[in-house]
Each structure stands twice: as structure tokens, then as C-alpha cells.
Amino acid sequence: MSHSLTSPVAASTSRTPALEIRGLGKSFPIGGLFSRDSVRALHGVDLTINRGEIVALVGESGSGKSTLARCVARLEKPTRGAILIDGVDILKRDRFQASRAFRSQLQMVFQDPFGSLNPAHRIEHFLRRSLAIHGKGGGSAEETVRRLEELMTTVGLQADMLNSYPHELSGGQRQRVAIARALAVEPQVILADEPTSMLDVSVRIGVLNLMRKLRDEQGISMLYITHDLASARYLADRTAVMFAGELVEEGESLDLLSNPAHPYTQLLVSAVPDPARAGSYDPVRRAELRQAVMASTTCAFDGDPNQACSAEEPVRHQVGDPENRHWVRCHLYRPWAGAAGHALAGEPTPPGRPASNAQEKASA
């Protein structure tokens, strides 16, 4: 069994994206047994990840990014839409549940490295099991051991840690084991759901660097789900912004974060603490952005000759140079009424409240 990455199949389909999501939707029923109400967690999501590309999906909690990950990982059954890996719709191919073939194409790395490794087993067990189940262990025992050591080296761990138990490792080391476990299967796509948010800050960047190295050296594509815009900018080639279960903007990461076009993206970017930034918190501007997200009456891209504005259809306007593949959803399109993010649904700050008034009340 060879581990070469340029199999004939891959070479012939190198034009096909590694992962393509088309019109994905997911509704969850709410209320009692006979209730017909449902909450729309995802709606019409289109996202493409090319080979050897890292795409970041950012948004606040409740925006639907984890639901998207769970649908793509087949932990949740999408209500509608298609998920294509190598151009094959896996929802049609594996109709009822994820097949082993699918699992060998797509692997996951979860948020919590403390919960995702069984404490009763040595590190070797996790990796050996992945290799055995997917038939990647090679023919002989020596070959398997060589593979195990190779995996540990790839993720930057000592081979003698194979004999350790998870509790003997730090959070960063555990997350590296989780990545090694995903790699053992030789997947095309890794789905990483907030892989660094539970790690200590000083080791986070090491895990991000490892993910970048895997992309560069092994051509693995990744969907990196995070709420940390700065890390998305650091790691991902492209970034997609999700709000209320729909994508509102997508583009080359540096371009998107320096020229955010959608008010929601602007809201997110302006909220990131950054000591280097000159401006500061402006409640009036904040209220305007909230208003523009929830019920915009104007679109900055009105008059776009290619894409006329529409309040009904989620029209994508091109932003700047086509090379950056940066688009924004028409501002006129309103988010689904039942899906207002809790951050935005919160009571808007009354603009321009005089400070003297507050002083009076405070000292009353």
C-alpha cells in the first residue's frame, strides 16, 4: 500500500474541488411532538474548498457554523442541498449514514482535546486503530510501527509518546495527537471545529502552524471553523463569514479583513481587540451597523451592472479585484426574522446618552 499523494485518480480530477457544498439547508423542529414549527439553522449555503486550500468559516456562536460542520461530517442530516467530495455527492452515495470510504476522505478535529481522546488508552491505540480500520497500516507489523512513528514526527511529537496516556500530555500535545489520528487515514479534507479555542494561548499558534504545514507539504484541504478572526486571517487562504445560517461575505482572507463589505463583517472586525488600532468603541456607529445588518434600506453595491440588487434573492456582489474572489451578499437581503443572532437581537445601545446624566444617577 503506497502513501503517495498523487494517485492517478487525484491527478485526473485535480480540477474538481476537494469539497463543494451546494445549497445546504438544515432545519430543526422545535416545540412539542405535533408542532410544525422549525428553526432554520442553515439556509442555502454554497461553499467550495479547492485542493490544498484552507478556508475559514467565521461567525458568532449561534450563527450556524458548527451545524454546517456537523452536516458536512454527516453527524447531522441536512434538510436539503448537496455535499460533493471529488465531484461525487456523498449524500446520494451514502444515503443513510457515513460510509468508511467517506470517513477516509474526510476527517475531523474537534474543539476539546480533553474529551476527544479516551483516557483509558495509550496514544498508540488511537493511531493504530485509525490505521487498522482504514487499512493504512501497511502489510507488516514493522511497517505499521514505521507509520506510527512517521505520524508522530509529522505532528511534531516524540515517537516515545506513543506509550503515554492522554493525561500525561498537555492540551497542545493532545490536539496534535487528534490531528495525527485524522492524518492516519490520509484524508483529502480535514474539518477542524475551533481546534485551538481550548488550548493555552502560547501553544495555539503552534497548532495553527502545524495545520499550515500539512496543507503545504501534503496538500490537505481544510475547513477551519473559528470565531477568532485574527487566526482565520493568519491561517486561511479564504475566509467565509456566516450570519444567521447564511454566508454573507467571502473572499481572500487578507482582502476580506482589510476591506470588509458587509455590515456584519464590519461589526465583527471592529469588535476584535487590537491595541494597534487607533479608533475606539463607538456606540453610534455600532447601532448603525446593527441596523444595517438586520434591516438595511440601501446597498453599497446598488447599480452593479452584473448583479442587480434584490431583497428577495441573496445576490452576490463582487468586491474589488476579481482575482481576490471577494463577494458580498446584497445588503438589501434581510436575514430570516427568526434567526437574528443573539448578539444583534440584544437591546440596541441608545446612541448619544449623555454621560452627565449617568453620573447623576450613579451618585444619587
Partner 1 sequence: MTISQVSFGSHEPVLDVKDLTVKYIGDTRSTTAVDRVSFSIGTGEVFGLAGESGCGKSTIANSIMRLLKDPAKIAGGSISFGGKDVLAMSPEELRRFRWQDVAMVFQSAMNSLNPVLTIGEQIVDIFTTHAGYSRKESLRRAAELLELVRIDPARLKSYPHQLSGGMRQRAVIAMAVALKPSLLILDEPTTALDVVVQQEIMAQIKELQRELGFSVLFITHDMSLMVELSHRMAVMYGGRIVETAKAQDVYTNPRHPYTQALMGAFPPLTGPRVPLTGLPDGVKFRNIPDLTEAAPGHFVAPLGADAPVIDSADLAGAAR
Contact range with partner 1 by CB under 8 A, out of 19-27, 86-94, 178-186, 348-356: 348-356
Query: Which residue in 217, 191, 151 sits closest to 5, CA to CA?
Result: 217
Q: How far apart are CA 313 and CA 92, in angstroms?
A: 27
Between residues 136 and 286, which has the closer beta carbon with respect to partner 1? Answer: 286
How many angstroms separate the Cα of 172 from the Cα of each of 10, 127, 164, 359? 32, 17, 15, 47
Residue 8 buriedness (CB in 10 A; 0-12 / 13-18 / 19+): exposed
**Using the rule CB under 8 A, is 231 a contact of partner 1?**
yes
Between residues 141 and 201, which has the closer beta carbon with respect to partner 1? Answer: 201
**Using the rule CB under 8 A, is 345 a contact of partner 1?**
yes
Neighbours of 164 (CB within 10 A): 16
Q: How far apart are CA 112 and CA 178, in angstroms?
A: 10
- Per CB under 8 A, the list member of 45, 269, 319, 332 interacting with partner 1 is 269
Q: At closest approach, how far in Å is the CB of 104 from partner 1?
A: 28
Between residues 43 and 233, which has the closer beta carbon with respect to partner 1? Answer: 233
**Using the rule CB under 8 A, is 170 a contact of partner 1?**
yes
Q: At closest approach, how far in Å is the CB of 130 from partner 1?
A: 22
Contact range with partner 1 by CB under 8 A, out of 104-112, 183-191, 229-237, 299-307: 229-237
Segment 16 to 35, residues that bind partner 1, using CB under 8 A: none
How many angstroms separate the Cα of 176 from the Cα of each of 29, 146, 171, 263, 295? 37, 18, 9, 36, 44
- Per CB under 8 A, the list member of 44, 206, 219, 314 interacting with partner 1 is 206
Angle between helices 123-133 and 171-183 in degrees, nearest 10: 20
Print the binding letters for residues 50-69 with partner 1: x by CB under 8 A, - otherwise: ----------xx--------
Print the binding letters for residues 100-139 with partner 1: x by CB under 8 A, - otherwise: ----------------------------------------
- Per CB under 8 A, the list member of 30, 132, 230, 295 interacting with partner 1 is 230
Q: Evaluate whether 181 touches 99 at the Cβ level (below 8 Å).
A: no
Q: Evaluate whether 179 touches 139 at the Cβ level (below 8 Å).
A: no
Q: Evaluate whether 215 touches 52 at the Cβ level (below 8 Å).
A: yes
Q: At closest approach, how far in Å is the CB of 179 from partner 1?
A: 13
- Per CB under 8 A, the list member of 167, 297, 347, 354 interacting with partner 1 is 347
Residue the block writes with cell 499523494: 5
Query: Which residue in 160, 179, 250 sits closest to 218, CA to CA?
Result: 179
Find how far residue 273's CA is from the centre of its chain: 21
- Per CB under 8 A, the list member of 16, 98, 165, 234 interacting with partner 1 is 234
Print the binding letters for residues 172-191 with partner 1: x by CB under 8 A, - otherwise: xx------------------
Q: Evaluate whether 322 touches 343 at the Cβ level (below 8 Å).
A: no
- Per CB under 8 A, the list member of 275, 303, 305, 354 interacting with partner 1 is 275
Q: How far apart are CA 280 and CA 272, in angstroms?
A: 11
Q: At closest approach, how far in Å is the CB of 259 from partner 1?
A: 12
189: DSSP letter: E
The residues binding partner 1 (CB under 8 A) are 60-61, 156, 170, 172-173, 200-206, 209, 213, 227, 229-231, 233-234, 254, 257-258, 267-278, 280-281, 283, 286, 342-347, 349-350, 353, 355, 358-359, 361-362, 364
